[in-house]
Amino acid sequence: MVSSFIRLLSTFGFSAFLLVHAAPAHLSEPSVKHAWQQIPADWEVHDAPAADHPITLKIGLKQSRIDELIDSLYQVSDPFHGRYGQHLSRLEVEELVAPHADTVDVVDSWLISHGVDPSSDVTRNGAGDWISIRLPLSKVESMLSTKYQIYKHKRTSEKIVRTLSYSLPRDLHDHIDIIQPTTMFDNMRKMHATSHVNKVDPSSTLSAAELAALPDVTGPNGQQIAASCNTTVTPTCLMQLYRTEGYVPKAANKGNRIGITGFLEQFINFVDLQTFFSKFRPDALGANVTVISVDGGLNDQTIPGVEANLDNQYTEGITFPTPNIFYSTPGTAPTINDSVTPPQRDEPYIDWLNFVLSHDDMPFSFTTSYGGDEQTFPKEFAVRACNLFAQLGARGASIMFSSGDGGVGAGTCETNDGTNRTIFQPVFPATCPFVTGVGATFQIAPEKGIFFSQGGFSVYFPRPSFQDKAVPPFLQKLGNTYKGLFTPGGRGVPDVSAQGEGFQVVVGGEVESVGGTSASSPTFAGIVTLLNDFRISNGKPPLGFLNPLLYSVGVPGFVDILLGNNPGCGTPGFNATEGWDAITGLGTPDFVKLKSLIG
């Protein structure tokens, strides 16, 4: 799609066009696109940035046929629909999300009015629905009728350049979904709870002979599980508990892979991976993870990351010999650039999504252990990012996200709309209906929902149709308890759960015990990868977007968790109960049963 003014630019040049169109008369006066009523919690104004501070604006243009894309997503993901499994190609998805020619024209006309050449200054993705421009701060402030400040985080001392509001000509509001970096202060914090990391005390560790002498525990389906798994989780524990033991993947040469995301300078250490294999998965010794750099992302072997090691050691530990892909995307806790500090990509999330979507070939399952309180993301951003997950799902990918480690709400549990009301805080992106949110359990025979497993109901996203049967019974049992603290008509989280405490992870050559829903998500994603392997090796397409399947034919494939609660916000939180609940979702997976259900 080539707009009329781009054709004119190519014929007569930017300077000639700018003379005629320097101030388009049809653009209306600026009006606020998004604003916070107050400075987001934990941030404070630190200083004023320099006028020449470089900003890379990412502008999300209105996607012309996004409703058709979402309709297609549900059709190819519904096991009862005739199109089930007929996933879309990259080009088919790009055609559905490409902006209308009118949108391209009016946005480019606005850029030209500010001296930006759309033919040379602007970078566009394949679909043309995202554009990027590198500009000095003074130019950005003029374009967005705003004023940026340097904000400092009160606890971490991190600094970011943001604004509390920005404006666009009213005529552009229907053509631009979002512009960043502007008002999004959250930087996709990792879900891992550092309070759950403890060095293993050798004096308290049982020897191999002592462990072997412990009597096995009988699992929910009669399987035998090592008693040590009650407190010390290894790949063998997970394979026994979720009944993948003995399954040998066969579809590695048919494209089945799992993708693991890495942000905030979390790097997978190869030596630690081999040490992990030697201790907990000896048959995988010599296998490795393929690292893909997104926009210059590194994988520094001198800085082993707890999160990255956890994710990769357990996805590989469960799925070996299936190929594992680790995506390293640059961007850390944001810094204020100076003459010696290179430009910092402090919002790497959209970069990663656009990178993956730009390729024809990609993994069939992904796990991500990053997110933040939903309210800290502007709704426009959350919706637009959620639609990117819809694009991934339509192309046949299953996307897992940690549900969070804050029970029913971390921090103060206060709203950030100026009213300071107490509400439960769900975590985004787990609240996006197009991803599968994974909560956490602990112990075995029986498994229980663990206290930190974050769950609840979205404020931004209404309950999707696939939850219409599962969620209302939970709400009926709850009655008026916590009335006003959550949105009962919102999308419920989590969808499923898996073990999330006591994971044995090798970091810097030493074994650490790690917990969090950041352990649960890669665990569940590993099992989904094996389910994909089973389907692909039998000539069937991968599962793709999971939720419509999980909440229908998949329900009998889960062990219902009946114990546990997730306190927070001064309350005991939600209780695990029969059926779906807002701490463990549908329950934990039984690979054998799920394999028969999806066969």
Fold of 221-258+275-288+350-598: Rossmann fold (3.40.50)
Q: CB 134: neighbour CB atoms within 10 A?
A: 12
Is the model's pLDDT at 259 over the cut of 70?
yes
Q: What is the mean pLDDT of residues 541-551?
A: 98
Nearest in space to 423 (alpha carbons), one of 574, 566, 582, 568: 568
pLDDT category at 206 given cuts 50, 70, 90 is: low
Angle at 328 between CA 180 and CA 435, to 5 degrees: 65
How is the chain split into domains, by residue range? 4-63+98-180, 221-258+275-288+350-598
339 in helix, strand or coil? coil
Specify whether the CB–CB gap between 61 and 103 falls below 8 A: yes
Torsion sign across C-alpha atoms 423, 427, 431, 436: negative
The C-alpha atoms of residue 41 and residue 46 are separated, in whole angstroms, by 14
The answer to the question of whether 372 is labelled as a binding residue is no
Amino acid identity for residue 198 in this structure: N
Specify whether the CB–CB gap between 344 and 280 falls below 8 A: no
Which structure tokens are listed for 407? 């029970």
Q: Is 307 a catalytic residue?
A: yes
Is the model's pLDDT at 561 over the cut of 70?
yes
Which structure tokens are listed for 55? 């900003």
Between 28-37, 241-250, 298-307, 495-504, the lowest mean confidence (pLDDT) is in 298-307
State the pLDDT at residue 438.
98
Is the model's pLDDT at 592 over the cut of 60?
yes
Residue 429 DSSP class: T
Specify whether the CB–CB gap between 438 and 528 falls below 8 A: no
State the pLDDT at residue 127.
96
Angle at 79 between CA 527 and CA 541, to 5 degrees: 60
Helix (H) or strand (E) holding 394: helix 379-394
pLDDT category at 406 given cuts 50, 70, 90 is: very high
Name every residue whose Cβ is closer than 8 Å to that of residue 55 and which is 6 or more positions away in sequence.
134, 135, 136, 137, 140, 161, 181
Phi, psi values for residue 109, rounded to 5°: -65, -40
The C-alpha atoms of residue 570 and residue 276 are separated, in whole angstroms, by 39
The answer to the question of whether 47 is labelled as a binding residue is no
Q: CB 579: neighbour CB atoms within 10 A?
A: 16
CA-CA distances (angstroms) from residue 350 to 93, 130, 248, 360, 525?
17, 10, 35, 18, 21
314 in helix, strand or coil? helix
Higher-confidence residue of 334 and 254: namely 254
**pTM score of the predicted model:** 0.90
To the nearest 10°, report the CA torsion of 18, 22, 26, 31.
Answer: 130
Q: Is 311 a catalytic residue?
A: yes
Between 199-208, 420-429, 550-559, 582-591, the lowest mean confidence (pLDDT) is in 199-208
Give the tens place of pLDDT for each residue, 353-398: 999 999 999 999 999 988 888 988 889 989 999 999 999 999 999 9
Between 193-197, 272-276, 335-339, 532-536, the lowest mean confidence (pLDDT) is in 335-339
Name every residue whose Cβ is closer than 8 Å to that of residue 590 and which is 6 or more positions away in sequence.
220, 221, 242, 243, 557, 558, 559
Is the model's pLDDT at 409 over the cut of 50?
yes
The answer to the question of whether 360 is labelled as a binding residue is no
Name every residue whose Cβ is closer than 8 Å to that of residue 347 and which is 6 or more positions away in sequence.
58, 180, 181, 184, 187, 331
Q: Is 518 a catalytic residue?
A: yes
Which structure tokens are listed for 335? 């810094």
Give the tens place of pLDDT for each residue, 76-88: 999 999 999 999 9
Q: What is the mean pLDDT of residues 549-571?
A: 97
Give the tens place of pLDDT for each residue, 121-138: 999 999 999 999 999 999
Helix axes 306-319, 270-280, angle to 10 degrees: 50
Candidate list 77, 518, 520, 521, residue with the active-site label:
518
Candidate list 129, 307, 373, 501, residue with the active-site label:
307
Torsion sign across C-alpha atoms 555, 557, 560, 561: negative
Is the model's pLDDT at 210 over the cut of 70?
no
121 in helix, strand or coil? coil
State the pLDDT at residue 128.
96
State the pLDDT at residue 298.
63
Q: What is the mean pLDDT of residues 415-442?
A: 93
pLDDT category at 150 given cuts 50, 70, 90 is: very high
Give the tens place of pLDDT for each residue, 237-256: 999 999 999 999 998 889 99
The C-alpha atoms of residue 476 and residue 473 are separated, in whole angstroms, by 5
Q: What is the mean pLDDT of residues 280-293?
A: 93
pLDDT category at 429 given cuts 50, 70, 90 is: very high
Candidate list 94, 311, 316, 351, residue with the active-site label:
311
The answer to the question of whether 590 is labelled as a binding residue is no
Helix axes 591-598, 517-537, angle to 10 degrees: 40
How high is the mean pLDDT of the chain? 88
State the pLDDT at residue 338.
34
